[in-house]
């Protein structure tokens, strides 16, 4: 029973770390809703002193996987949920956030890398079923998509002062 509780605490910790950005409270003077948000250029948006940057990774051939793998462990150790917005890639670091755009319909989503694959020649990215549904590619099964890595530059960046 104690090992089950420890595993549960570890899973909760991993989930919190995976989905939480650390914010330096000393640099926050008012809520984000009242702070000025301005567009620096097409690829960079600033809010207060944090920065989100989209790094173009080019086009990739994406497929999707779902029912046969639902509930199985992914390469990073979490259980695969076909209805979460996740993806598998052969070499990108676990936790990497990607903005995926289907150029055929201009639909975009954000996924988190949590698995390795795909293991079919000529494919670069395996999306969860939820991601594929949102992009409108479930029926075809495979689509060429535009991929951008989402980089978050911390509040401590001296170039933002």
At 70-86, the pLDDT tens digits run 989 999 999 999 999 99
Q: Is the pLDDT of residue 16 over 70?
A: no
- Mean of the per-residue pLDDT values for the chain? 79
Domain covering 52-151 in this structure, CATH number: 2.40.40.10
Beta-bridged to residue 111, according to DSSP, are 98
What is residue 102's predicted lDDT score, i.e. its pLDDT?
98
For residue 96, count CB atoms less than 10 angstroms from its CB and return exposed for 0-12, middle for 13-18, buried for 19 or more: middle
Tens of pLDDT, residue by residue over 49-77, are 568 899 999 999 999 998 889 989 999 99
pTM: 0.66
Q: Is the pLDDT of residue 29 over 50?
A: no
Do the Cβ atoms of 130 and 83 come closer than 8 Å? yes
- Mean pLDDT on 133-142: 96
- Ordered by start, the domain boundaries in the chain are 52-151
pLDDT band at 12 (very low <50, low <70, confident <90, very high): low
- Mean pLDDT on 106-124: 96
């Amino acid at each position: 029973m104690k090992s089950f509780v420890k595993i549960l605490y570890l899973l909760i910790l991993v989930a919190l770390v995976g989905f939480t950005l650390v914010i330096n409270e000393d640099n926050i003077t008012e809520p984000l809703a009242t702070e000025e948000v301005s567009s620096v250029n097409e690829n960079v948006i600033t809010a207060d002193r944090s920065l989100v940057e989209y790094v173009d990774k080019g086009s990739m051939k994406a497929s999707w996987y779902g029912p046969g793998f639902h509930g199985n462990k992914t390469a990073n150790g979490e259980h695969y949920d076909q209805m979460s917005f996740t993806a598998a890639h052969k070499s990108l670091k676990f936790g990497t956030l990607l903005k995926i755009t289907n150029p055929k319909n201009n639909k975009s989503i954000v996924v988190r890398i949590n698995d390795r694959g795909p293991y079919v020649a000529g494919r670069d990215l395996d999306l969860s079923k939820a991601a594929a549904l949102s992009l409108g590619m479930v029926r075809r099964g495979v689509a060429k998509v535009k991929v951008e890595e989402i980089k978050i530059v911390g509040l401590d960046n001296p170039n933002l002062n």
